[in-house]
Amino acid sequence: MRKFLLVFATFALLLAALVARPASAQTLPKRAIIVVADGLSPQLVSFGTAYTKTAYGAETEVAFDELAATAKPLMGDTMGALKNLLANAGAKGYRTALVTSGDVSKVAPMFYGADYLNAPFAVIAGGGRASFEGGAAAFAAKGNSAWMTVDAMDEDPKGKILALQADGDLTYGLDRDVEKEAGFPELATLALQNLTEGDKPFVLVIHDTLLGKALAAKDTPAVMEQFRELDGIIADAKAAREENAETAIAVVGLNAATAPRFSTELPNERSDAFYILSELPMSYAKAGQTLTKADEARITAFATDSYKGWKISDANRAALIKGEMTGEAAIRSSYEPAIKIGYEATQASTVWTLGWNGDFAASLK
């Protein structure tokens, strides 16, 4: 309880600094971008950075490089402490937006309250289209934009924007059909572009659940792609800060229970593993779904056209065809021994900051 109260007080001070102080007395910049990512940890950042620079070239920029030195542990129920943050900021005249890779109907009430569609927001975007059905038409009828398809996002915006791009949670970046779903990075860009027009103060929350989902499943291809997507979103936030120095960025990693690690010390084996991962075109989960009820022809086509170069043993091939082995298990049995990547326990919560005039908590006092 003591830790919870401490964290709640910290974020209460954050909100007070954002929405109560006159501009001349603000300790914090007047523009705040808060990225909340389930499963994000310093270990994952280190591993993901090494992966990116090895698989895609040492010159590849990683947005976390600039944030790495600011990592600090954060204890307590941080999501609870963020409750109603955007509703309170909006009530004080700040423009607000929420982007989530989860279901908006489940996530938005945390930041805006139960009546979130009537809150004074600029953009709410993510998944959860199935929860709205006729509600989207009613929302649009009030002079707003209800974008439920990729094509709809080409329309000129009017009023508040509600962009829902999947029936439930958004899809892993590695598996996304870009013609059917605008992804997490695209929705984050939409919100940033909308909020940064003009010079009005704003608070943007970007909430990611996909990284945590991939980590829980130990789906290494999905983990690495979700790290890269998150890093790209942070790069866009940094670009907004470069355009306006009054922009603050906080990245909060929550519920981090596990992170990838190598089971080999050999540099060449590690490099080979990263290269193999960079060539995998879909998550283990998606590959498994594709191989459901596979026969000889489908297995051959999959290895030729989808997971190119996939080699499956005769025993596993027979087990897969008979339904004695799942497609995901067959894929994992081929690749996990080669990439030599396992998972280890890691710390629970971390915060990285940029533009908060020093320590995240101390700058709020």
CATH number, residue 14: 3.40.720.10
| Segment 231-253 mean pLDDT | 95
pLDDT band (50, 70, 90) for residue 82:
confident
Which pLDDT does position 309 carry in this prediction?
81
Q: 237 and 217 in one domain?
A: yes
Q: 286 and 174 in one domain?
A: no
Residue 235: count of CB within 10 angstroms of its CB: 15
- 319 lies in some domain: yes
CB 211 within 8 A of CB 38: yes
- 192 lies in some domain: yes
pLDDT band (50, 70, 90) for residue 198:
confident
Q: 130 and 77 in one domain?
A: yes
- Round to the nearest angstrom and report the end-to-end CA distance of the chain: 21
Q: Which residue has the higher pLDDT, 107 or 28?
A: 107
Residue 55 confidence (pLDDT) above 90: yes
- Whole-angstrom Cα distance, residue 92 to residue 103? 27
| Segment 334-361 mean pLDDT | 83
- 37 lies in some domain: yes
Rg over alpha carbons for the chain, rounded to the nearest Å, is 22
Burial class (CB in 10 A: 0-12, 13-18, 19+), 357: middle
Non-local (6+) Cβ contacts of 89 within 8 A are: 15, 18, 19, 96, 203
Which pLDDT does position 9 carry in this prediction?
43
Tokens representing residue 290 in the block: 């594709």
Q: 255 and 153 in one domain?
A: yes
* Residue 254 β-bridge partners: 38
pLDDT band (50, 70, 90) for residue 358:
low
pLDDT band (50, 70, 90) for residue 305:
confident
Closest C-alpha to 347, from 258, 225, 215: 258
Which pLDDT does position 7 carry in this prediction?
40
Domain range for 307 is 266-339
Q: 162 and 60 in one domain?
A: yes
- 294 lies in some domain: yes
Secondary structure class of 249 (helix, strand, coil): strand
Secondary structure class of 351 (helix, strand, coil): strand
Q: 325 and 193 in one domain?
A: no
Q: 210 and 122 in one domain?
A: yes
Residue 297 confidence (pLDDT) above 50: yes
- 291 lies in some domain: yes
- 86 lies in some domain: yes
CA 37, chain centre distance (Å): 6
Q: 168 and 91 in one domain?
A: yes
Q: What is the chain's length?
A: 365
Q: Which residue has the higher pLDDT, 19 or 116?
A: 116
Q: 55 and 7 in one domain?
A: yes
Closest C-alpha to 76, from 168, 147, 6: 6
Total structural domains within the chain: 2
Q: 200 and 73 in one domain?
A: yes
Instruction: Give, for 174, the enclosing helix (H) or strand (E).
Output: none
Q: 151 and 223 in one domain?
A: yes
Helix axes 210-217, 220-243, angle to 10 degrees: 160
- 151 lies in some domain: yes
* Residue 354 β-bridge partners: 249
Q: 287 and 255 in one domain?
A: no
Question: Is this structure's pTM higher than 0.85?
Answer: yes
φ and ψ at residue 184, rounded to 5 degrees: -55, -50
Mean pLDDT lowest among 27-41, 103-117, 289-303, 325-339 = 27-41
pLDDT band (50, 70, 90) for residue 362:
very low
Mean pLDDT lowest among 176-180, 196-200, 230-234 = 196-200
- 24 lies in some domain: no
Q: What is the DSSP string of 5-73?
A: HHHHHHHHHHHHHHHTS-GGG-SS-SEEEEEEEET--HHHHHHHHHHHHHHS-TT---THHHHGGG-EE
Tokens representing residue 179 in the block: 């013609």
- Whole-angstrom Cα distance, residue 171 to residue 103? 11
Residue 8 confidence (pLDDT) above 80: no
